[in-house]
Chains A and B, each alone.
Chain A
Amino acid sequence: MTAVVIDPVREQRADVHPVPLSRVINVELRKMFDTRSGFWLMASIVITALLTTIGTIAFAPDADLTYYTFAKAIGFPMTVVLPMIAILSITGEWSQRTGLTTFTLVPHRNRVIAAKAISSVAVAIASMLFAFVIGAIGNLVGTAIAGTDMVWDVSLAEGANIVLGSLLCLLTGTMLGMLIRSSAGALVTYFVYSLLLPTVAGILATSQQWFQDLRPWVDLNYAQAALFEGTLTAEQWANVAVTASTWLVLPAILGLRLVLKSEVK
């Protein structure tokens, strides 16, 4: 019925080479954009960045029109959206059942997960560079409109800290995706993790002295928040390292084990 030739007999295939990781990363990046939901999630990063910049110019007091204000205003919605992208990239394989194809094309699931994590980080870094650029434009335009002096108050080190803080948020998404493997479940857990827990911890810290002392060592959100506020002391770096190991690295290792062992149906 058709001219297409199928030639199944090549038991000795000389032209079959292992799938390089770069190709898996490439495909996983594509899969983040090629659905309507994926596209709008990405688009929302750009849209919210523009909206917050305009909002900052319109509503922020003239004295606050500094680069830091812009960078922070643009960065906040990103710390919400980026983890969602990281979560959906992983959970979709189970929730949408595309894993049936993905994991038969790349049977070593750790490579797929690695590719997804790398793609998510790449998207995050690109988004943040975009945020810094939009923030700079906002700062130029905003100060010009308000007639105030331009203030460039984000050093390279501080910028790097903001990037690191956002990446920790993003990787929390990756971790939850592996651990839970269901889109709805992982998204809900992420919001509990990032919105509800800090509130509870905050209430506990104001009423219990012992917890206030302990908090920087057990509350990832609290330790991480310092990254967005400037440069860190040695103790604050230790706080970040300890809380990230407990709340990010350990669950991620457990999650990866579950991903490798779980049945894909």
Chain B
Amino acid sequence: MITIDSLSKKYGASTVVDDVSFVAPAGRVTGFLGPNGAGKSTSMRMMVGLTSPTSGSATISGRRFADLPNPGREVGVMLDASAQHAGRTGREILTIVQRMMGLPGSRVAEMLELVSLTETEANRRVGKYSLGMRQRLGIATALIGDPAVLILDEPANGLDPAGIRWMRDLLREYADQGGTVLLSSHLLREIEVIADDIVMIGKGRIVCQGPKTELLQSAGTVARAADIYALKRALDRTGLHTTVSDDGALRTDADPTRVGRVAHEAGVALIELRTADGGLEEMFLQLTADTQRERADTQRERKAA
């Protein structure tokens, strides 16, 4: 379990991480979602003691990271898969980590097998690795100590769709066995696919957090019907608030089960019935748009100056 309590980081006047609190519980995959520059990486660096927080604290199973006797055996960390000496081979990088943790040498081969790096690939220098291979090596480094907690920054970055599915299955199995997983991403789709819980962060502050199912559900329902106005009338009669958009889709706050039942009772044939993914996505798009607008503004200012 990872507990983050009022974590803040200021650089001079600018606040990069602002009063962030959340818990990543054991047995679940927690997705740390936010646009680039939202403060995800800084938060993660503070969790593992690479950056000292201005205030607040982060603990792993109740202990500060620096107090863990052999951190690699308890927390698997991958913050940047490319942060390796380009001149070392993949096998050598794993060997260094294996020795530092005091593990048997056989773990290196086991981990290479787990992340599907072949003999030839393992003996190649990481300078020649693709981003996907580096990510796999990074995952191997994080898992080699058999830790109970994983902290991964953008682990799906650079993986192909098959790689993302592999990662999802791996982390799923890991969490199902009781492990704690915290992973970050700037892509909503990735987080949706992998995470159980979502913590969304923008400009250093937490925007929303909760189980993925709840966050997605709170957005309501989108439905289409052969006769959309018949459906609207039926729903309005039950006291639900509905809107019909120009493209003929009906939106309501009620959940799909209820809308389906009302349609059935009214004898309206549905063409489409689904959870509106609007809520989370809208909020996320808003965050991303804000950051991008700011970036465009500063660029304009720079040009003007």
Contact = CB atoms under 8 A, between A and B. Distances in A.
26 contacts: A2-B114, A4-B110, A4-B114, A6-B114, A6-B143, A6-B173, A7-B177, A8-B147, A8-B178, A9-B178, A13-B74, A19-B100, A19-B102, A36-B87, A96-B84, A101-B77, A101-B83, A101-B84, A103-B50, A104-B49, A105-B97, A105-B100, A107-B66, A108-B66, A261-B52, A264-B51
B86 to A, nearest CB: 7
B122 to A, nearest CB: 14
Contacts, number: 137
B106 to A, nearest CB: 11
A169 interface: no
B83 A103 contact: no
Contacts of B179: 6, 8-9
B91 to A, nearest CB: 10
Interface of A: 1-2, 4, 6-11, 13, 15-19, 23-24, 26-27, 30-31, 34-38, 92, 96-101, 103-108, 261, 263-265
Nearest to A10: B148
A263 B26 CA distance: 29
B54 to A, nearest CB: 12
A97 B50 CA distance: 12
A35 B143 contact: no
Given A10-B148, A105-B71, A24 B100 contact: yes
A96 to B, nearest CB: 5
B168 interface: no
Contacts of A265: 45, 50-51
Interface of B: 26, 45, 48-52, 61, 65-66, 68-75, 77, 79-80, 82-88, 92-93, 96-97, 99-102, 110-111, 113-114, 116, 141, 143, 146-150, 166, 169, 173-174, 177-180
Given A27-B99, A34-B88, A19 B69 contact: yes
B40 to A, nearest CB: 14
B85 A107 contact: no
Contacts of B141: 101
Nearest to A263: B51
Given A17-B102, A103-B50, A104-B71, 18 more contacts: A2-B116, A6-B177, A7-B146, A9-B148, A9-B178, A11-B148, A16-B69, A16-B74, A17-B69, A17-B70, A27-B96, A34-B92, A92-B85, A100-B50, A104-B50, A108-B66, A263-B45, A264-B50
Contacts of B84: 96-98, 101
Contacts of B66: 107-108
Given A103-B50, A105-B71, A23 B99 contact: yes
A contacts with B: majority SS: loop
A168 to B, nearest CB: 28
The residue among A6, A18, A35, A265 with the most chain B CB atoms within 10 A of its own CB is A6
A4 B113 contact: yes
Nearest to A20: B102
A262 to B, nearest CB: 9
A161 to B, nearest CB: 36
B87 A37 contact: yes
Contacts of B169: 1
A27 B26 CA distance: 32
User: Can you list the 9 inter-chain pairs with the closest CB atoms, starting with the nearest?
Assistant: A8-B179, A9-B178, A97-B83, A35-B87, A18-B69, A264-B50, A100-B83, A107-B66, A4-B114
A107 B100 CA distance: 12
